Amino acid sequence: MTIDIKQQKGEKRKKGGGDPQVAMPSPRATPRGRPTKFDGSADRSAGILDAAEALFAAHGFYGVTVRQVANEAGVDPALLSYYFESKRGLFDAVFSRRAELVNERRMESMRRYEASTAAMTVEGCLTAFLEPVLYLWEVGGDKWRNYLRLVALVNSTPSWGGTAMNEFFDPVIERLIELLKRVLPEARDEDLYWCYNFASGALSLSFADTGRIDKLSGGLCRSGDVAAVRKRLSFFLATGTSELCRRLADGS
Amino acid sequence: MTIDIKQQKGEKRKKGGGDPQVAMPSPRATPRGRPTKFDGSADRSAGILDAAEALFAAHGFYGVTVRQVANEAGVDPALLSYYFESKRGLFDAVFSRRAELVNERRMESMRRYEASTAAMTVEGCLTAFLEPVLYLWEVGGDKWRNYLRLVALVNSTPSWGGTAMNEFFDPVIERLIELLKRVLPEARDEDLYWCYNFASGALSLSFADTGRIDKLSGGLCRSGDVAAVRKRLSFFLATGTSELCRRLADGS
DNA sequence: AACATATTTCATCGACCGTAGAAATAAGTT
DNA sequence: AACTTATTTCTACGGTCGATGAAATATGTT
């Protein structure tokens, strides 16, 4: 869950036999070693995570090399191993870094909605569930755009997307289902799960930001248009969910 | 569009200097050269496409190596270059192989629906659009499952998913939008495009078959359950679409 | 029979992959 | 001042990648 890397790794340096070399007067182009305290490079690992986030979101895990990430972050490739052990460790760190915040915001949003409203609605529940991520999508800047795109990509990846997504995000989804059950007491569980699945797909494709709708609509719609999605998605999903659950309420 | 590979490639064989070697009496383990007419290996390229389809659908373009594909298909890796020029060429061939049939079926389905019904409905249009792929998903066997999963993956891939998807599938989608416009004459174009986008995401995640809903629902729902999707998806999307378009019909 | 052609395996190329080890360098500690 | 530790670049390794060229072999053509 949490990133517990950054343990020391320099237990070498024994065997320091003399081996005198000629003095090289020219200073190194890029000096190695521990950085000076106030050179502005506060936290390199965050920069690595940002670069990896953007690249993984755009090309997927296998479509990115550690050298690309290092290059984008402006560090040596070996530094990624130092901080994150392996490429997979880097990916996991990227994925989990912002997950907790997303979950907290969503939980808090649903808690507040539940507490503040006497008569909850399906659309209200879905809005409470969606608004936090739409907000981060809108005002979170490029980093949050990249992260949400990455989550969308993982969400629709068969092989190893499943475990990571379930591990991190299932509790929040269960909370949503719980709310929906109270608004739609006659709804069957399986219908709610299916409706959530449809909703998840619609949201994922929104975050994916593929640019497809731009071409399809001849420029009328823009792929990353948060306001357009916000105006439509909750309502769209809410009517679909409530009508479907009502219709299928009594047996097959 | 069509696959026009398979042009001859063997214009070598000059410079046949003697270089006499000792006769090797043992027959080759796997003999090379042109296959005998009736040895059952009718069309190797189809087998390669099948193997590539399954692997690309499961792991994406970069997550698959040509050696894996060759191994799965039981052929030498060099044969992939022979038939498809490059790895990218192989992928394009996989993607386009079944696209035309899908488009024909969908077009025919919508044409028939339009001709047979006096009063079209939103759900009817969506069913006409969705049923052909749901049918292929259901009875098409593993190959079609793999192909639809691949399309779903490409559909939600930002970088180079866009062009391929638009090129192949936009005409059918425009046809659907055209039908929907007749059923919902008051609907604004942008709302219809957004609704399609949501629908596309929901359908993609269904095809992706990630197994997420299985775990989330505790086994109540199964990810590749065509009947469950068929029973719900059209209705879900239809109510969402019609209600949303009605609500937003008069300006922002 | 001689020749051209299509299909396949084999051998291998140069490039790049992820990663590890060692050296370098500054900060912290005693 | 001496020693330890954290962070960084450098070098390079063994492996794998996609792709190519040549040889092998059966078919088709003349």
Same domain, A118 and A201: yes
Residues B143 and B244 placed together within one structural domain of the fold: yes
* Nearest CA-CA partner of A184 in A246, A236, A128, A125: A246
Residues A82 and A104 in one domain: no
Question: Which of B89, B118, B147 is the last residue before a domain boundary?
Answer: B89
Percentage of chain B exceeding pLDDT 90 = 77
> Which pLDDT score, from 0 to 100, does residue B161 have?
61
**Per-residue model confidence as pLDDT tens digits over A148-201:** 999 999 999 877 766 778 889 999 999 999 999 999 999 999 999 999 999 999
pLDDT of A18-76, one tens digit each? Answer: 333 334 344 555 766 666 666 655 688 999 999 999 999 999 999 999 999 999 999 99
- Selected for mutation to probe chain A from B215, B229, B235, B236 (highest A CB count within 10 Å) is B236
Co-location of A102 and A223 in the same domain? yes
Examine residue B19 and state whether it is found in any structural domain, yes or no: no
Alpha-helical (H) ranges within A25-157 are 44-59, 66-73, 77-84, 87-97, 99-116, 122-139, 141-155
Looking at residue A40, its pLDDT comes to 55
Judging contacts by C-beta atoms under 8 Å, the chain B residues touching residue A174 are: 216
Give, for all 252 residues of chain B, the pLDDT tens digit.
333 333 333 333 333 333 333 343 445 557 666 666 666 556 889 999 999 999 999 999 999 999 999 999 999 999 999 999 999 999 999 999 999 999 999 999 999 999 999 999 999 999 999 999 999 999 999 999 999 999 999 999 887 766 778 889 999 999 999 999 999 999 999 999 999 999 999 999 999 999 999 999 999 999 999 999 999 999 999 999 999 999 999 865
Same domain as B192, residue B114 = yes
Cross-chain residue pair B209–A155, CB shorter than 8 Å: no
Q: Say which range, A149-163, A213-227, A236-250, B118-132, has the weakest mean pLDDT.
A: A149-163
Task: Give the pLDDT confidence score for residue B40 in this predicted structure.
Answer: 55
CATH number of the domain residue B61 falls in: 1.10.10.60
Determine, for residues A205 and B201 on separate chains, whether the beta-carbon distance falls below 8 Å: yes
Final residue in a domain of this structure, among A58, A89, A120: A89
The pLDDT assigned to A250 comes to 80
Per-residue CB contacts under 7 A with strand C, chain B residues 65-84: 75-79, 82-83
Tell me, yes or no, whether B105 and B184 share the same domain.
yes
Q: What is the DSSP string of B95-139?
A: HHHTHHHHHHHHHHHHHHHHHH-SS--HHHHHHHHHHHHHHHHHH
User: Which residue in this structure is represented by tokens 């292929």?
Assistant: B136
Please indicate, yes or no, if residue B53 is contained in any of the structural domains: yes
Q: Report yes or no: B70 and B79 within 8 Å, Cβ to Cβ.
A: yes
Q: What integer pLDDT is reported at residue B165 of this predicted model? A: 86
The whole-number pLDDT of residue A38 equals 63
Same domain, A108 and A58: no
**Residue A195 placed within a domain:** yes
Does B165 sit within 8 Å of A212, measured CB to CB?
A: yes
CA gap A100, B174 in Å, rounded: 40
In a domain, A166, yes or no: yes
**B10, part of any domain:** no
Q: Is A150 found in the same domain as A127?
A: yes
Task: Write the burial class of residue A79 (CB in 10 Å: 0-12 exposed, 13-18 middle, 19+ buried).
Answer: middle
Q: For position A244, which CATH number holds?
A: 1.10.357.10
User: Are B75 and B174 found together in one domain?
Assistant: no
pTM (predicted TM-score): 0.88
Give the three-class secondary structure for A36: coil
Asked whether residue A146 is assigned to any structural domain, the reply reads yes
Are B76 and B144 contained in the same domain? no
Domain that holds residue A205: 96-248
Query: How far is residue B206's CA from residue A44's CA, in Å, rounded to a whole number?
Result: 40
Contact present, A184 and A123 (Cβ < 8 Å):
no
A-chain CB neighbours of B164 within 8 Å are none
Please report whether residue B79 resides in a domain. Answer: yes
By mean pLDDT, which of A10-19, A37-46, A130-139 is the weakest? A10-19
Last residue of a domain, one of B50, B66, B89: B89
Distance in angstroms (rounded) separating the CA atoms of residues A88 and B11: 45
Residue A159 lies in a domain: yes
Same-domain check for residues B80 and B102: no
Whether B72 and B102 map to the same domain: the answer is no
Write out the two tokens for B5. Answer: 């590979």
Contacts of B147 (CB under 8 A, 6+ apart): B53, B57, B94, B97, B98
Report the number of distinct structural domains present in chain A: 2
